[in-house]
A and B are shown apart, each in its own frame.
Chain A
Amino acid sequence: MAEQNSHYYVPAQSPWPIVGAIGFFLVAVGAGNLVAQLSQTGEAGWGRFILLVGFIILLVMMFGWFKDQISESRAGLHNAQLGVSYRQGMSWFIFSEVMFFAAFFGALFYARMISVPWLGGASNNAMTAEVLWPSFEAIWPLTTTPGGTTTQAMGYWGLPLINTIILLTSSITIHFAHTGLEANKRKQLTLMLGLTILLGMSFLVLQVEEYIHAYQDLGLKLDSGVYGNTFFLLTGFHGMHVTLGTLFLIVIFFRVLAGHFSPDNHFAFQSASWYWHFVDVVWLCLFVFVYII
């Protein structure tokens, strides 16, 4: 640490954070209004416009913020210490994302191992089962809820398995993109990065297919009881993260084409690749706990 400290870099004032704050504000107000309106009247009111404006502002904010950041970085204003700060910041951000997924995995485990068995009379709940839903059978996947909603379970064979293979492969390709960057083999970098993006997109397309299959053929819906809830929220939030990760990679791709990044200075690339590996690991957990077991 000692040597780098002699020249600290303290960034100048920036308008982007406050723009972002306004964006967050509009998104929250818009979404809050939209959700409430939809459930009351079945129609979207003014909230959706505010939501849209909020999203646009957030996009503008990200664009502007990163643009400033990139030009400062390329002007050589950043130093090694700042690079370490960025890397550490990104890793702990990913850790917080892990905890977000942990909440939903926790809900899944609780439903499977506690609430569903208890509703079926396990532990000391024989009377509960007898009084509430005597005919309820505690099985997992929960294809018939105590309230009587029925659905079919999603198998792991087919689309989910293909998607697993796709994501695993994409983790390998992003790794080779990284080694390419470090060895200054730009061609390998571009090719492997491009491949990763294509794999990410195909994953998303197949996931949409899978959702259509779930809704149309299996009757597996967001409101099909706790099995459907955990299925859709876990895979849905994961899908959102894949979408973000893919967008992130696309931006990186264009920066690579523009000649950005050097073998020893590529924080943005590295964080995109960390993010991608994280999304991948989450999927592996999903595949095991949501689909297979």
Chain B
Amino acid sequence: MNTLTETASHDTEHHHGPAKGIKRWIFTTNHKDIGTLYLWFAFIMFLVGGAMAMVIRAELFQPGLQIVEPHFFNQMTTVHGLIMVFGAVMPAFTGMANWMIPMMIGAPDMALPRMNNLSFWILPFAFLILLASLFVEGGGPAFGWTFYAPLSTTYSGDSTALFVFAVHIMGISSIMGAINVIVTIWNMRAPGMTWMKMPLFVWTWFITAYLLIAVMPVLAGAVTMVLTDKYFGTSFFNAAGGGDPVMFQHIFWFFGHPEVYIMILPAFGIISTIVPTFSRKPLFGYPSMVYATASIAFLSFIVWAHHMFTTGMPVFAELFFMYCTMLISVPTGVKVFNWVATMWRGALSFEVPMLFSIAFIVLFTLGGFSGLMLAITPVDFQYHDTYFVVAHFHYVLVTGAIFSLIAATYYWLPKWTGVMYDIGLAKLHFWCSLISVNVLFFPMHFVGLAGMPRRIPDYSIQFANWNQLISLGGFAFGLSQLIFLALVIKACRKQGEPVPAKVWDGAHGLEWEVASPAPYHTFTTPPEIK
């Protein structure tokens, strides 16, 4: 997006347009530049992680071992997961936050702009290390994105130390990013932007940021213990020394479950922004949306062991975590209800962001339902570690988090670039993605229920037909994203009709009051909030 506008507002003498050339991007303290960097980085990582998924699906096209070594297959599943979670979804949401939060609350920038630059620029280095570790002798991390001990301690390769330090850097980046969001929202709101006037995207990110600063340090603790167990003879996760491998899972999932909400709460905010615009009605139940988000965040801290039902916890713990998990579906249900109620009797129109949002509502809910099935302890004994779990979390993450990110891009891209993207291509992207994603993930429910285990490069012959279909869906979904890439590049090159400040006639919010493309500095003097 290096042709972004140079029209800085010249109302104050201090402010200049962007610096020229590469320096602009390396030294920048501008929230829009940093948002752009985050988004492009996330997109590139999405394609890299996607390429790994293609390797996985190629191997699983047929039963038996054909294309890659099992050890390499394990590295692919591991690094695919790590990249998608930490390199694609999280940075993409942070990019959205950087671009939109200051504009939505009428602030001139993020509260701590230099730290903002640092939190972005350490990320590419972290992923450079992670990707480079694939080429270390003995290979990269191969223990799953969840790096359970003892796979990551006793049985892992020499690259584990690199993995640990890369995760540390990702954590530092997320924590700094989250602190920035928190401080910006506390301290930089324009006068009159009271808490209950804040757009929901701002609210959901505010709560997400708290989840981040609460659990990313715990992840840092977990990788540190893996490091010392592997290299310095400690026995946190080793029964012979008085520790317990299951303790790893407790620590990891104490981070891990809030982490999945870190990846979905901002998505809720996006959907809550887009649906009212194209329903031409205010969001139904705004306060209940805020409270539901807060309750989900709270509950997400007391459900972690639903990932561990089969580890042999005491029955009391199994029941406690089962009921708490089910409780989460109440606030989640409130949200889905409110989105549907917003559309109810609205003057609906189906622009591309709305198409993706509606797909989100339906398909994310489907993922929530399979989550509910998994939450039932005795039933999970059968489903655990099968493709059913893979289906569940891809419905919530791909048709959930990723679809919301795509919807957000289609919603705000004209504001960023000043031109309308190619709507024909966008619709093609939507239909291709929608169909292929379901061909890809829906049959995973069937093979999962029938007992096909996850993270294994081979499978029993009776799963062959469905797996072929799944792989075809996978390739199609992967290719469909290239349409998106082409479309975004075109829009960044300003190929398209110029758009007015208010791109969508039903839209509300401060971001639509500034010109399109948004000037380099917005709101150097605080706006009037009605």
Stretch from A36-44, A157-165, A171-179 forming part of the interface with B: A36-44
How far apart are the CA atoms of A6 and B122 in the complex, in Å? Answer: 33
Which residue of chain B lies nearest to A138 when distances are taken between CB atoms in the complex? B242
User: Which residues of A lie under 8 Å from residue B160 when comparing CB positions?
Assistant: 36
Nearest residue (CB) in A for B254 is A106
Q: Does A200 contact B (CB under 8 A)?
A: no
On whether the beta carbons of B231 and A35 are closer than 8 Å, the reply is: yes
A145 touches B221 (CB 8 A): no
Assess whether B161 is in contact with A35, with CB atoms less than 8 Å apart: yes
A1-35 interface with B by 8 A CB criterion: 1-2, 5-6, 8, 10-18, 20-22, 24-25, 27-29, 31-33, 35
Chain A nearest CB from B188 CB (Å) reads 8
Tell me which residues across on chain B come within 8 A of A229, comparing CB atoms: 228, 234-236, 241, 243
Q: How far is the CB of B451 from chain A (nearest CB, A)?
A: 28
In-complex Cβ contact of A107 among B28, B125, B247 (8 A): B247
Given A29-B129, A89-B112, A92-B183, is A18 in contact with B117 using a C-beta cutoff of 8 Å?
yes
Chain A interface helix/strand/loop/mixed: helix
B220 CB–A CB distance under 8 Å: yes
Contact A21 B179 (CB under 8 A): no
Give the segment of B482-490, B491-499, B519-527 that binds chain A: B519-527
Tell me, yes or no, whether A130 is within 8 Å of chain B by CB.
no
- A260 to B221: give the CA distance in the assembly, Å: 37
List the B residue with the shortest CB-CB distance to A39: B231
Contact call A96/B241, Cβ cutoff below 8 A? no
Q: Is A184 an interface residue (CB 8 A)?
A: no
Contact call B27/A10, Cβ cutoff below 8 A: no
Residues of A within 8 A of B314 (CB): 123-124
Q: Are B218 and A102 in contact, with the CB atoms below 8 A?
A: yes
Question: Taking the complex as formed, is B384 at the interface, i.e. its CB lies under 8 A from any CB of chain A?
Answer: no
Contacts of A93 on B, CB cut-off 8 Å? 175, 179
State whether the Cβ of A88 lies closer than 8 Å to any Cβ in chain B.
Answer: yes
Contact with A along B174-215 (1 / 0, CB 8 A): 010011101100111111000000000000000000000111
Q: B8 CB to closest chain A CB, in angstroms?
A: 11
Cα–Cα distance between A65 and B314 once the two chains are bound (Å): 52
**Contact flags (1/0) for B250-262 with A, using CB distance below 8 Å?**
1100100000000
B518 at the A/B interface (Cβ < 8 Å)? no
| Complex Cα–Cα for A68 and B49 (A) | 39
Q: Give bound CA distance, A24 to B188, whole Å.
A: 29
Neighbouring B residues of A10 by C-beta, 8 Å? 14-15, 29, 108-109, 113, 521, 524
- Which B residues lie within 8 Å of A257 (CB)? none
Pairwise interchain contact B244-A110, C-beta atoms closer than 8 A = yes
The residue of chain B having its C-beta at the shortest distance from the C-beta of A99 within the complex is B217
B21, CB-defined interface residue at 8 Å: no
Q: Are B187 and A84 in contact (CB under 8 A)?
A: yes
Contact A225 B228 (CB under 8 A): no
A156 within 8 A of B: no
Query: In the complex, A229 Cα to B165 Cα: how many Å?
Result: 20
Bound-complex Cα distance A146 to B224 (A) = 23
B162 touches A8 (CB 8 A): no
- Selected interface stretch from A113-121, A206-214, A245-253, A262-270: A113-121
Tell me the smallest distance from the CB of A276 to a CB of chain B, in Å.
19
For A124, the chain B residues whose CB sits under 8 A away are: 314
Question: Chain A, 54-96, contact with B by CB distance < 8 Å: what is the 0/1 string?
Answer: 0000000000010000000000000001001110110011011
Tell me the minimal C-beta distance from A31 to chain B in angstroms.
6
Q: Is the CB of B15 within 8 A of A100?
A: no
Known: A81-B187, A225-B235. A8 touches B247 (CB 8 A): no
Q: Is the CB of B242 within 8 A of A146?
A: yes
Q: Which of B68-118 contact A (CB under 8 A)?
A: 107-109, 111-115, 117-118
Q: Does B452 contact A (CB under 8 A)?
A: no
Residues of A within 8 Å of B394, CB to CB, are none
Contacts of A97 in B (CB 8 A): 217
The answer to whether residues A28 and B129 also contact, given A11-B113, A111-B243 and a CB cut-off of 8 A, is yes
Cα A283 to Cα B179 with chains together (Å): 25
B179 touches A92 (CB 8 A): yes
- B243: which of A32, A115, A132 is its contact (CB, 8 Å)? A115
A222 within 8 A of B: yes
Contact partner, A116, options B182, B217, B222, B242, Cβ 8 Å: B242
The answer to whether B129 and A25 have CB atoms under 8 Å apart is: yes
Which A residues lie within 8 Å of B444 (CB)? none
* A8 to B93 alpha-carbon distance, docked (Å): 26
| Interface assignment of B385: CB less than 8 Å from any CB of chain A | no
Whether B213 lies near A21 (C-beta < 8 A) is no
Chain B residues near A18 (CB, 8 Å)?
26-27, 117, 121
The answer, yes or no, to whether A149 is at the interface (CB within 8 Å) is yes
Give min CB distance, B233 to chain A, whole Å.
Answer: 3
Residues of A within 8 A of B180 (CB): 89
B227 within 8 A of A: yes
CA distance A28 to B165 in the complex (A): 5
When A28-B125, A99-B217 are in contact, do A225 and B231 touch as well, CB less than 8 Å?
Answer: no
Taking a contact as CB atoms under 8 Å apart, the answer to whether A222 and B244 are in contact is: no
- A142 beta carbon closer than 8 Å to chain B: yes
Residues in B neighbouring A88, C-beta threshold 8 A? 111, 182-183, 186-187
* Docked-complex contact B242 and A225, CB < 8 angstroms: yes
A21 & B233 in contact (Cβ 8 Å cutoff): no
B2-37 at interface with A (beta carbon < 8 Å): 14-15, 19, 23, 26-29
Contact assessment for B242 and A145 in the assembled complex, using a CB-CB cutoff below 8 Å: yes
Any chain B CB within 8 A of the CB of A284? Answer: no
Contact B162 A32, beta carbon cutoff 8 Å: yes
Q: For B244, list chain A residues within 8 Å (CB).
A: 110-111, 114-115, 118-119
Contacts of A227 in B (CB 8 A): 242
- Given known A40-B158, A107-B225, contact A226–B242 (CB-CB < 8 A): yes
B234 adjacent to A24 (CB under 8 Å)? no
Q: Compute how far the CA of A29 lies from the CA of B128 in the bound complex, rounded to whole angstroms.
A: 10
Neighbouring A residues of B254 by C-beta, 8 Å: 103, 106
Q: Is the CB of A21 within 8 A of B220?
A: no
Question: Is B232's CB within 8 Å of the partner chain A?
Answer: yes
**Best-surrounded residue of A21, A33, A222 (most CB of chain B within 10 A):** A21
- Write out the residue numbers on chain A whose beta carbons fall within 8 Å of the beta carbon of B189: 1
List of B residues within 8 angstroms of A65 by Cβ:
114
Whether B158 contacts A16 by the Cβ 8 Å rule is no
A110:B235 contact, CB within 8 angstroms: no
CB atoms of B221 and A21 under 8 A apart? no
Residue ID in chain B nearest A115 by CB atoms: B244
22 contacts between A and B (CB under 8 A): A1-B191, A8-B525, A10-B521, A14-B114, A20-B122, A22-B125, A24-B122, A24-B172, A33-B162, A89-B180, A95-B214, A99-B216, A100-B221, A106-B254, A107-B225, A107-B251, A119-B239, A145-B240, A145-B241, A147-B235, A223-B234, A225-B241
Please give the residue numbers on chain A whose beta carbons come within 8 Å of chain B beta carbons, in ascending order: 1-2, 5-6, 8, 10-18, 20-22, 24-25, 27-29, 31-33, 35-36, 38-40, 65, 81, 84-86, 88-89, 92-93, 95-97, 99-100, 102-104, 106-107, 110-111, 114-116, 118-119, 123-124, 132, 142, 145-147, 149, 222-223, 225-230, 233
Q: Which 7 A-B pairs have the closest CB atoms?
A: A103-B221, A223-B233, A147-B240, A115-B244, A28-B165, A226-B242, A100-B217
A-B contacts besides A8-B109, A25-B169, A32-B133, 15 pairs, CB < 8 Å: A8-B524, A10-B15, A10-B29, A20-B122, A21-B121, A85-B112, A96-B214, A99-B215, A103-B217, A107-B225, A116-B242, A119-B239, A223-B233, A225-B241, A229-B243
